[in-house]
Structure formats: structure tokens, C-alpha cells
Amino acid sequence: MTIVFKLKGFEQEGFEIQYAAGVLRRGGLVAFPTETVYGLGALVWDERAVTRIFQVKGRPSDNPLIVHVSSVEMVEKVASRIPEDAYRLMEKAWPGPLTIVLPRSERVPRTVTAGLDTVAVRMPSHPVALSLIRETGEPVAAPSANLSGRPSPTTGYHVIRDLMGRVEVILDAGATLQGVESTVVNILTEPPTLLRPGAMPVEDVERILGRRILIPGFAKGLEHAEKPLAPGMKYRHYAPSAKLVLVEAPLYTLECLKELAGYIRRQASLNSDGKLCVVATDETLQYYSGSGLKTLSLGSRRDLFEIARNLFPTLRKVDEEDCRIAYVEGFPEQGLGLTIMNRLRKAASEKHYLNC
């Protein structure tokens, strides 16, 4: 049985938080909001509870989890060593959507780290998440609170749809602020390496560190990592049940976007078996008028924060609209555009590149 607590806004204390913390301490699973997406948490030291996370989600066992903390003292419990760069990032970027890869403490079960000698750690900024971790009194291991491979949950409703009856508690505090997962950086390499772009643009991390960060192909979603060092590196993720077709271009000028929309219309006209949808932006909706295609808007290209926040709810809506195939437009890879493209490339089952 799953208990769902509806929290009023950013409620930080009370019976609900105390009850959920007690469930974690007793070996149960709790879904909770963060500023990025909802997480599915277990006490980090409880290997049986952590194993249940993988079972409940259908998550591959070689896909490591992120450890969530509420203080630097908790970081010192899960990491055997904390480099100066890590302290610098903690001071400037925490609490917030940045995950730092550190050397693993021997106390951390290898189930959490998928057998790696490193551990990924972050301090969320959502008041409910911080309050839950503080009340629990120990770090909490948590991936996103969805079935593996599905679009990440950005509302309590999404979590209920995926995990009702599978976990002990769901803390529903409404929609998350940023809508995409945290940025993951490995500072143990030289130069530091971006393992997953996220809600904190990599350019902001570079400004804090005062030097460039290596961005490998898998961080752009262009290839799969052989061995995942952080969540989202190896497997297909974030995907709706419908076939998702991503159409990219070298530039996204108005002329190119018009040509891209024409290309999608032509491709869609060749597919008549089932409902077709287009995941578009405000700037291109007009080009699909009269096509008979169902359009789902991500928002304006002038606001990548809005695009990122709307991405996962829109991908879930693709299935709610019973679309068989959904075409989606690409984005430039600067700032949050890199994060958006990573998610779209991971979710897409087919990719087209348009020279315009």
C-alpha cells in the first residue's frame, strides 16, 4: 500500500515529513520532490532498501544512484576524500542542481555506486527534500521516481501514475521548479568531465572552477558510455511509449526552422497508420497549421528554461494523446540547450539531420 501526502506548497515540517523519515529509517522507499525532478529515496546504508529501488523501477543494476545530503558533514560520511574543487562547488552551487562525483567511502554499499569506487553526491534545494533528509538524519540514495526509461516525473501525479502500490510513501508537493535532472560533473579527472548535462548549465560550473570542463560525446547524447559513471549515461532514457523522431539542424534561424517544419510535414505525410504528433515551439506552430497534425508546444525558443521545464511533461502528454509517432525539433547546444538535446537524443528512437 502506498500513502500519498499532499503537501501545501513547500511545506517543510509536520507529521508527513516525520512519517516519511521514519519509513526511510525502517527500510522503506519514499518518493519526494526536488527542485529538478521527483526522487525515489532509500537510506543510503540500507542495501536491501537500495536494491528495492532497482527492482521497483526496473533499473539496470549497473546504473549508479545519486546520494542526496543536507550538509557538508553528510558528504564526509559518503566520500573518502573531498578535493578543493568540490568544496568550491559546494560553496557556490549548493544547495542546487549540481551533482559532484567523489571517491567513495568504504561504508557506502557498492549497490548504490553500481560497483564503482566513486560516489555521486548532491544537496537539493527543494525545502521538502532538505527537510526529509534532515529529519532522516542520514544521506538518502535516490534516482528519479519513475519507471526506468520513462520520462522523468516533474509532478506528484507522474509519480503516482508510475509507482502507486510499489512504494511506501509519495510526498506530493506539486510541480518541480526546473523539470530536468541535476548536472553531473566528475572533478576527479583532469580536466573535470561533464557526465550528464542538467539544470545547471555547464558554463556556470566552468565559471566557478575557473577552467574548461571536458564534454564527451555521451554527455551530448551522441553515444553511449560503455560503463556508466553516473545516471543517464548508457541506457535509453526519458522516452514516451510512442516512437520519437528527432529532427536536428546545424542552425535554428527562422528560415531553417521553417524548412525543418516543412520537412516534418513531408515525413508525416508518408505515415498514415495511427495518430501523429509534433512537439514544436511557439515559433514554429504556425507552420503546422492545416496539416492535420496534433501539435504540442514546449514554449518559446527564447526561453530555454521554459523549454527544459516543459520537456518531460510534454513527452508524457505524447502518450496521453495516444500518438503513435511524435516528431520533435532540435535546439542549439549552448546553455540549457545542451541539456535539452541530451534528453531528446536519449529519448529518440530515430534521428534525422537536416542541412539548411
Residue 182 among known ligand-binding residues: yes
Whether residue 192 is preceded by a cis peptide bond, meaning omega within 30 degrees of 0, is no
Residue 281 among known ligand-binding residues: no
Residue 343 among known ligand-binding residues: no
Residue 238 among known ligand-binding residues: yes
Q: Could you give the CA distance from residue 69 to residue 40 in angstroms, rounded to a whole number?
A: 14
**Helix pair 304-320, 156-163: axis angle to 10 deg:** 40
Residue 122 among known ligand-binding residues: yes
121 in Cβ contact with 135 (< 8 Å): no
Residue 36 among known ligand-binding residues: yes
Residue 314 among known ligand-binding residues: no
The length of the chain, given as a count of residues? 356
DSSP string, 276-290: EEEEE-TTTGGGGTT
Q: Could you give the CA distance from residue 30 to residue 209 in angstroms, rounded to a whole number?
A: 34
Residue 125 among known ligand-binding residues: no
CB atoms inside a 10 Å sphere around CB 290: 8
DSSP one-letter code for 345: H
Q: Is 188 helix (H, G, I), strand (E, B) or coil?
A: coil
Which residues, 6+ apart, have CB-to-CB distance to 302 below 8 Å? none
Residue 237 among known ligand-binding residues: no
Residue 189 among known ligand-binding residues: no
- Residues forming the annotated binding site for ATP? 59, 63, 118, 144, 152, 196, 238
- Residues forming the annotated binding site for L-threonine? 36, 68, 122, 142, 182
- Residues forming the annotated binding site? 36, 59, 63, 68, 118, 122, 142, 144, 152, 182, 196, 238
